Amino acid sequence: MKGILDLLPFLLFFAVVLLSVFGGDILKILGGVVMGFSPLIVIAILVVIFLAAAVKIVPEYQRAVIFRLGRVIGAKGPGLFILIPIIDKMVKVDLRTVTLDVPTQDIITKDNVSVSVDAVVYFRVVDPVKAIVEVENYLYATSQIAQTTLRSVCGSVELDELLAEREKLNIQLQEIIDRQTDPWGVKVVAVELKKIDLPEELRRAMARQAEAERERRAKIITAEAEYQAAQKLADAAKILASEPLALQLRYLETIQNTVSKPGNTVLVPLPIEILSYITKGVGEIQGKGQ
């Protein structure tokens, strides 16, 4: 139907040319055909043609920007509305959130490391009139703004910040892109960094660094454990040294725990003084026996 309406001026011009060439013959033929129809039928046909060309329907997720003789008069929809054929022109705009996949960008970070970064941008049109009037193609323009902003922001930070603070960079990218697309009636909802590709040499170096860091932490933990154990042993030794009976009780408790397990042989050391007493007693017994 839109193509027919666009061709309507040409068809009218062609009809005028035919009338000027053939003149009355065509008028007689048309007059005979018209007289064969009832006026009500002719009016009904004209009304149907007008409604088919003028009545438009726009779904809930779209708006129609109307141009009347080249001048924008606003946006209509959703639902049913009427346009003036030939005079009015309609451009539909989708208001749903658009998922824009930003192509992979080769970036040199602030510390001179080459990486490849790609992202995804979520945006939607909030002002259909601006999206059509202020920019030629808002989808293409938003894509280009997203690419240049991604290179600019990621190139201004170091690699460690790029890897560790992605949420902060996402917010910064969203604010910058939204500020630049606001005059076009486009609202950037969110920006997410999807993937950061590192060179293979850098990956191996980072793996060695991570391994060395883990070894350092393991040694620190082991040394800290030994220090704490030595400190506790020193405290226990001080307590036992202040109370000789406590050391003796601990000694006896250790022997008891060992004896309680079947099959164990316990060797109990005796002080030399006790052995001297025993030897002296045995000697006295033997002297008496003689």
Please determine, for residue 113, whether its predicted confidence score (pLDDT) is greater than 80.
yes
Can you tell me the mean pLDDT for 84-91?
Answer: 88
The percent of residues in the chain predicted with pLDDT above 90, rounded, is: 36
Q: Over 80: is that where the pLDDT of 264 sits?
A: no
CB 54 within 8 A of CB 82: yes
> What pLDDT score was predicted for residue 202?
72
pLDDT at 207 over 90: no
Q: Do residue 142 and residue 175 come from a single domain?
A: yes
What pLDDT does 288 receive?
A: 57
Give me the domain span that covers residue 252. Answer: 244-289
The total domain count for the chain is 3
Query: Do both 43 and 135 map to the same domain?
Result: no
pLDDT tens for each residue of 226-261: 889 888 888 877 877 777 667 667 777 777 777 776
pLDDT band at 10; cut points 50, 70, 90: very low
12 and 85 belong to one structural domain: yes
Over residues 3-31, mean pLDDT:
52
Q: Are residues 120 and 159 in the same domain?
A: yes
**Comparing 198 with 35, which gets the higher pLDDT?**
198
Q: Which residue has the higher pLDDT, 209 or 283?
A: 209
Average pLDDT of the chain to the nearest whole number: 80
In this structure, the answer to whether residues 73 and 122 fall within a common structural domain is: no
With tokens 């007289």, the residue in question is 35
Dihedral angle sign, alpha carbons of residues 123, 125, 131, 136: positive
- pTM to 2 decimal places: 0.62
The answer to the question of residue 150 being in a domain is yes
Binned at pLDDT 50, 70 and 90, residue 60 comes out as: very high
Statement to judge: residues 157 and 144 lie in one domain: yes
**Residue 54, pLDDT score:** 84
> Do β-strands 98-108 and 88-94 pair in parallel, antiparallel, or remain unpaired?
unpaired
pLDDT in tens, 126-174: 999 999 999 999 999 999 999 999 999 999 999 888 888 999 999 999 9
Instruction: Give the pLDDT mean for 118-133.
Output: 94
pLDDT number for residue 18: 54
70 in the Ramachandran plot: left (φ > 0), alpha (ψ -120 to 50) or beta? left
Sign (positive or negative) of CA dihedral 55, 137, 141, 130: negative
pLDDT of the residue at 52: 78
**Res. 278 pLDDT band, cuts 50 70 90:** low
Q: What is the DSSP string of the chain?
A: -HHHHHHHHHHHHHHHHHHHHHTHHHHHHHHHHHHTS-HHHHHHHHHHHHHHHHEEEE-TTEEEEEEETTEEEEEE-SEEEE--TTTEEEEEEE-SPEEEEEEEEEEE-TTS-EEEEEEEEEEEES-HHHHHHT-S-HHHHHHHHHHHHHHHHHHTS-HHHHHH-HHHHHHHHHHHHHHHHGGGTEEEEEEEEEEEE--HHHHHHHHHHHHHHHHHHHHHHHHHHHHHHHHHHHHHHHHHHH-HHHHHHHHHHHHHHHHTSTT--------HHHHHHHHHHHHHHHHHH-
Whether 126 and 67 map to the same domain: the answer is: no
**167 and 189, same domain (yes or no):** yes
| Res 215: pLDDT | 87
Give the chain's length. 290
Q: Is 5 exposed, middle or buried (0-12, 13-18, 19+ CB in 10 A)?
A: middle
Residues 117-132 have a mean pLDDT of 94
104 lies in the same domain as 192: yes
Residue 28 is predicted with a pLDDT of: 55
pLDDT at 72 (0 to 100):
93
Is the pLDDT score of 289 beyond 90? no
Domain final position from 72, 94, 116 = 94
Last residue of a domain, one of 94, 123, 152: 94
